[in-house]
Copies of this chain bind each other. A is one copy, B any other.
Amino acid sequence: MLTNDLLLRAARGEEVERIPVWLMRQAGRILPEYKTVRSSVNGFKELVKNPELICEVTIQPVDILGVDAAIIFSDILVIPEAMGLNYEMIESKGPFFPKTIENKNDVLQLTEDVVPNLQYVFESIRLTKSTLNNRVPLIGFAGAPWTIFSYMIEGKGSKTFSQAKKMLYTDPVLSHSLLDKITSATIAYLKEQVKSGADILQVFDSWAGVLSKAQYVEFALPYMQKITTAITEVPVILFAKDAHYILGEFAQTNCAVIGLDWTIEPEKARKETAGKVLQGNLDPCVLYAGKETIKKETEKMLRSFGEQKYICNLGHGVYPDVDFEKAKYFIEVVQQYR
């Protein structure tokens, strides 16, 4: 029923007549129209809880950039909040949790029953889905259990997430019980996103890269497997930034698509992922360059991945200071590629 279902067909491994393309963080940040909406509200969290405004900023990049999918505007940290751990978004610094998880009792006090607390997300999805009027697919998303765990322990962003990793080494039992709880909440959250209208889902493991492979296999992968096993309704994209060592294991899960950061060579990814659909992975900094360089780098990447079993994207969220005209040009290059 979608006018443009390229993304869904590519995600299912079906043949497509051209490569679909969208941008991580396409909703927000770089668009002047987003900045207008953002400055009309009192803080980021007010925006995240306003379905009308979410609908507006989610559809903006479809109208302005011409991307082949919309991704619901939200934040991965709505899950810890819905579980009972409140966060603040501090301007130009990032998230901050006044209270963090320190012991078994803290974990016990969290709820897995997050759906009632996340109605504003589901309402946003319903409204956006109907407003989109089937022009393009709508992507839902959540943070990966390890990434959510790392914020709940560390309490804020970190270069090393050493406190979260300390918990893995010093109390693996507590760590697994928290990861389990986050996973149950996340599965319920994602399933309700699908019921509300999400056509495809992406799970973001933003801090995967601080873990060794052994730690990822013990504390992150099993929960990604649980999610991809539980979600059978729509395709699931797994994206674990900087976890270059895990592509082979992801290929063994029920995920439909594996997202790649820009440090992964397309040829290497193809070799290690046994026929899975791949997504990515242009260095976001290419969008700082002139049009000639953007075209050259993008087309080099497209040739390496090939036109099938592939969804074009950046290797990370678009950077805030990128000129949106450059992002738009990138989209055009992909859509005109033959």
The interface of chain A, by Cβ under 8 A from chain B, is 159-160, 162, 165-166, 168-170, 209, 211-213, 215, 242-245, 262-265, 268, 283-286, 288-290, 293, 315, 319, 321
Contacts and interface: CB of A to CB of B under 8 A. Distances in A.
Contacts of A245: 244, 263-265, 268
A288 B319 contact: no
A244 B262 CA distance: 12
A285 B165 contact: yes
A83 B170 CA distance: 45
Contacts of A288: 162, 165-166, 169-170
A283 B213 contact: no
Contacts of A244: 244-245, 263
Contacts of A162: 284-285, 288, 319, 321
Contacts of A321: 162
Contacts of A215: 283
A165 B263 contact: no
Nearest to A246: B263
A253 B213 CA distance: 27
Nearest to A262: B212
Given A162-B319, A213-B263, A215-B283, A169 B289 contact: yes
B213 A285 contact: no
A283 B212 contact: yes
Nearest to A172: B293
Contacts of A169: 285-286, 288-289, 293
Given A165-B283, A319-B162, A265 B170 contact: no
Given A162-B319, A284-B162, A289 B212 contact: no
Nearest to A300: B214
Contacts of A212: 262-263, 283, 315
A212 B283 CA distance: 7
B242 A160 contact: no
Given A169-B289, A244-B244, A321-B162, A213 B265 contact: yes
Contacts of A262: 212
Given A242-B209, A244-B244, A166 B263 contact: no
Kindly list the 10 A-B residue pairs having the minimum CB-CB distance in the complex, ordered from nearest.
A169-B289, A165-B285, A166-B288, A212-B262, A244-B244, A212-B283, A162-B319, A169-B288, A170-B289, A162-B285
